[in-house]
Structure 1
Amino acid sequence: MAEKEGGIVKEGHDEGMNMAIGLLEEFGLPLGLLPLADVIEVGFVRNTGYMWIVQKKKVEHKFQMISKLVSYDTEITGFVDKKRIKKLKGVKARELMLWPPVNEIVVDDPPTGKIHFKSLAGVTKTFPVDAFAAGQ
């Protein structure tokens, strides 16, 4: 894939998660945003911000503080930037009976303690950033 050209790739769960968390930290995103299991590969292209994550199986995680169930596909891709992930693919948040795909995640800058999840349908949900802290 052309998008992956020039990317740094880490293989295996521990190395992959270390890299993913390092990127979240570097770009000012909550460290608990990617509660993944059995990561196979994580890659990042510094000059475009393109990131990809491959894991063995789909993961569903409930963020307890906001009672929100989020589904992470076997492949997750997006473009990481300061306080934001855009063109996100592979992440869905449950809304009533639907699972609309999350297309963009933005943390307020300057910080207000809020994070926004936008879907392709134009629906934006706002939550406290703390709900996505490491270990949530």
Structure 2
Amino acid sequence: MAMITEELRAKAEVYHGDEICQEKSKFLLQEVGLPRGLLPLKDIIEVGYVEETGFVWLKQKKKIEHCFEKIGKLVTYAPEITAYVEKCKIKKLTGVKTKELLIWVSLVELSVEDPPTGKLTGKISSGLYRTFPTSAFELEEDLKKMEEKPEVEEKEKEKEKAVVSSAKA
């Protein structure tokens, strides 16, 4: 795990308390093009982000396990998680493990192709990887918005057609 030094803290935006940390962690995931439900943490104590390097850390009260129901994947999140984030990618990830067959393996990288509807790929240190639909990691509220969006766009197109038709008449 990367050491969170005082020097690093001095360069970072640091937030304390579960409510603001939940908000900031989801916002950061969204900003870099990753699903907002990727880090379903509880009782977050601290979130830090160094914008110039992309280094992020999250601290929660205790280790948690989460099952991503849509893909049947069990994942554990350590009390401290660190990573470097960039557009559509999390690198040098620490503190996150997933269960493969009967063993727990540490994830070291997560990336998304074609956000927001593409595939999320998780890699382990040996280079092996698995790919899943990003929708399996989205928050329910985000999935509903994505489902509603095509309907809204279609209604807007119908209104435009009606305006054009009435203008021609």
Same fold (TM over 0.5): yes
**Distance in 2 between the 1:107 and 1:3 partners?**
27
1:86 lines up with 2:85 in the alignment:
no
**Distance in 1 between the 2:115 and 2:34 partners?**
13
Contact 1:12 1:40 in 2 (8 A): yes
Is the radius of gyration larger for structure 1 or structure 2? 2
Deviations 1:95-128 (A, max 9, x none): 0111110000000147661010000021101000
After TM superposition, which residue ranges in structure 1, 4 or more long, deviate above 6 angstroms?
Answer: none
Q: Which residue of 1 aligns with 2:27?
A: 22
Contact 2:34 2:116 in 1 (8 A): no
Contact 2:117 2:135 in 1 (8 A): no
1:107 lines up with 2:112 in the alignment:
yes
**Distance in 2 between the 1:111 and 1:35 partners?**
18
Structure 1 or 2: larger strand share? 1
**Distance in 2 between the 1:42 and 1:115 partners?**
23
Contact 1:3 1:50 in 2 (8 A): no
The TM-score, its normalising length taken from structure 2, stands at: 0.77
Contact 1:4 1:50 in 2 (8 A): no
The TM-score, its normalising length taken from structure 1, stands at: 0.95
Deviation, 1:4, is 3.5
Root-mean-square deviation (CA, aligned residues, Å) is: 1.5
**Distance in 2 between the 1:45 and 1:112 partners?**
28
Contact 1:118 1:124 in 2 (8 A): yes
Structure 1 or 2: larger helix share? 2
Deviation, 1:53, is 0.2
Q: Which residue of 1 aligns with 2:74?
A: 69
Structure 2 counterpart of 1:29, one-letter code: L
**Distance in 1 between the 2:62 and 2:87 partners?**
28
Cα 1:95–1:42 change in 2 (3 A) is same
Structure 2 counterpart of 1:59, one-letter code: I
Deviation, 1:3, is 3.8
